Amino acid sequence: MYRRELERHLRAHGCALLREGARHSMWQNTATGALATIPRHREIRHTVARSICDQLGIPRIDRR
């Protein structure tokens, strides 16, 4: 899955970008305050994307 798809899914479920790091970006669920880091690769494995959604407490992204 592409990183942009995951970011679109996160924004749609109320998450916001906190900061950019050299290798990861920090995202926060604005409703719950949960935090997760997202690797700054062009493609992210589906299992990693599912884990990020679980950490943020949002629905998992559908597999295509």
pLDDT tens, 5-14? 999 999 999 9
**pTM of this prediction?**
0.91
Q: Would the pLDDT of 62 be above 90? A: no
Q: 61 or 49: whose pLDDT is higher?
A: 49
Predicted confidence at residue 64, as pLDDT, reads 61
Every domain of the chain and the residues it spans: 3-56
Angle between helices 3-12 and 46-56 (to 10 degrees): 20
pLDDT tens, 25-54? 999 999 999 999 999 999 999 999 999 999
Query: What fold characterizes domain 3-56?
Result: Metal Transport, Frataxin; Chain A (3.30.920)
